[in-house]
């Protein structure tokens, strides 16, 4: 089984500028694609990998240089300090959903099959997409679809969901399609449902909040000259990463010193970001929306 094909693999590993004796962190271990490449470049160095999805543990290598933590990356700093690591030479994050999570119907990430609306990346988490759809009030639902799905019809979507759940709980993919299907633009149904499911997944897993926490902690833990490497798959994530690398905050607001010089914690390595070429997309179509950003801590 192919667990996951990493996007921009060579570019991201090159971006880490790996030192053979360095300490590196892969906060989205998944199928281990990035981690395996990092290990190839280490001699006496160490690699610490995080993944909240317990399924990823099947891919753990038998390697004394490797240490796996079945944890959300929002606990980055505490876990590193607990394991006597006070600073790191590089961190990589490949955001989004793995092939494995998409391709296991019972995980509920896809709208292509009528399965329960789960969408938890951590299967022991308490909140599913179905919980959100059935308990959140109309205004809050509209905010979720607007903020995380960038759907201009968010209020109408929320209204239809609230009306549908008054008749029966929304539990499966077909339930939500029945509830909001009439709002899907003609010949753009796929894109519409992708945005709806993206919004629900982000909300169920607190993805934006936890990404912010991880990025702030990465800045604390990186050594001067250490690299931060992030692959994102939608504009919400990419905007946060871009702003954080540019200015050290999530609004991208530049601060200046007394002399008018911009104060920033990072040196940007690839200013416009890196996207897959046509050859990679032809091999791995799911990489088409990937954007890689690389920064070095000053």
Picking from 165, 163, 205, the residue whose alpha carbon sits closest to that of residue 51 is 205
Give burial (CB, 10 Å; 0-12/13-18/19+) of 138: middle
d(CA 18, CA 28): 18
Which tokens belong to 132?
A: 């959100």
Question: Domain segments of the chain: what residues?
Answer: 9-99+207-297, 107-205
Over the stretch 57-94, which tens digit does the pLDDT of each residue have? 888 999 999 999 999 999 999 999 999 999 999 999 99
Residues 6+ apart with CB under 8 A from 127: 120, 204
Tens of pLDDT along 14-52? 999 999 999 999 999 999 999 999 999 999 999 999 999
pLDDT at 108 over 80: no
**9-99+207-297 belongs to CATH 3.40.50.10190:** no
Query: Do 228 and 91 contact (CB within 8 A), yes or no?
Result: yes
Closest by Cα among 93, 16, 15 to 49? 93
- Residue 46 in 3-state DSSP? strand
CATH of domain 107-205: 1.10.150.170
DSSP-derived secondary structure letter, 116: B
Could you report the per-residue pLDDT of 238-295, keeping only the tens digit for each?
Answer: 999 999 999 999 999 999 989 988 899 999 999 999 999 999 999 999 899 999 999 9
Do residues 120 and 106 lie in contact, with contact meaning Cβ atoms separated by under 8 Å? Answer: no
The whole-chain average pLDDT of the chain stands at 93
**Least confident range of 28-32, 122-126, 193-197:** 122-126
């Amino acid at each position: 089984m192919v667990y996951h094909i990493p996007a921009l693999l060579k570019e991201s590993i090159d971006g880490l500028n790996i030192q053979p004796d360095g300490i590196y962190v892969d906060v989205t271990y998944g199928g281990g694609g990035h981690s395996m490449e990092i290990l190839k470049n280490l001699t006496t160095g160490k690699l610490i990998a995080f993944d909240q999805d317990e399924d990823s543990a099947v891919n753990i290598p038998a390697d004394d240089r490797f240490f796996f933590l079945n944890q959300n990356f929002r606990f980055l700093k505490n876990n590193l300090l607990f394991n006597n690591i006070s600073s790191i030479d590089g961190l990589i994050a490949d955001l989004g959903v793995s092939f494995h999570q998409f391709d296991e119907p019972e995980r509920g990430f896809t709208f292509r099959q009528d399965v329960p609306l789960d969408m938890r990346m951590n299967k022991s988490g308490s909140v599913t997409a179905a919980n959100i759809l059935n308990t959140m009030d109309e205004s809050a639902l509209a905010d979720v679809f607007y903020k995380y799905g960038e759907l201009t019809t968010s209020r109408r979507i929320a209204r239809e969901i609230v009306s549908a759940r008054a008749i029966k709980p929304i539990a499966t993919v077909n339930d939500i399609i029945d509830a909001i299907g009439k709002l899907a633009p003609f010949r753009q149904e796929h894109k519409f449902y992708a945005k709806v499911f993206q919004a629900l997944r982000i909300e169920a897993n607190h993805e934006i909040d936890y990404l912010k926490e991880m990025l702030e902690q990465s800045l604390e833990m990186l050594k001067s000259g250490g690299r931060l490497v992030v692959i994102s798959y939608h504009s919400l994530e990419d905007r946060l990463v871009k702003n954080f690398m540019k200015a050290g905050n999530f609004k991208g607001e530049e601060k200046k010193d007394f002399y008018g010089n911009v104060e920033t914690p990072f040196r940007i390595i690839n200013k416009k970001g890196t996207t897959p070429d046509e050859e990679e997309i032809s091999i791995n179509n799911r990489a088409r929306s990937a954007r890689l950003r690389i920064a070095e801590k000053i």
